[in-house]
Amino acid sequence: MEDRWLSVDEIAEYLGVAKDTVYTWVTSKGMPGHKVGRFWKFKKEDVDGWVRDGGAAASSDDFENREEPNG
């Protein structure tokens, strides 16, 4: 079983999001990660649990300043 730390690039690719989103989630939504020197590292199992618990769910604040799409 592979149990290694993933980089921001790797965890972003795994989740299908941009690197900027990962940085935002780590600093504002409590995404589990550890700073090693100047780099962030992640355990896939920890991130999976955080996502399952709703950590990545959009809040109403995320949509506050967005325009409605034209229907």
pLDDT tens-place string over residues 43-67:
999 999 999 999 988 764 554 444 5
Q: What is the pTM of this model?
A: 0.76
Task: Note whether residue 35 is domain-resident.
Answer: yes
Mean pLDDT of the chain: 86
**pLDDT at residue number 59:** 63
Task: Note whether residue 42 is domain-resident.
Answer: yes
User: Rounded to an integer, what is the distance from CA 65 to the centroid of its chain?
Assistant: 21
**pLDDT at residue number 60:** 46
Domain range for residue 42? 8-55
Task: Note whether residue 51 is domain-resident.
Answer: yes
Task: Note whether residue 70 is domain-resident.
Answer: no
Task: Note whether residue 37 is domain-resident.
Answer: yes
Say which residue the tokens 């100047």 belong to. 38
Q: From CA 16, how far away is CA 34, in angstroms rounded?
A: 20
Count up the domains in the chain and report the number: 1
Task: Note whether residue 34 is domain-resident.
Answer: yes
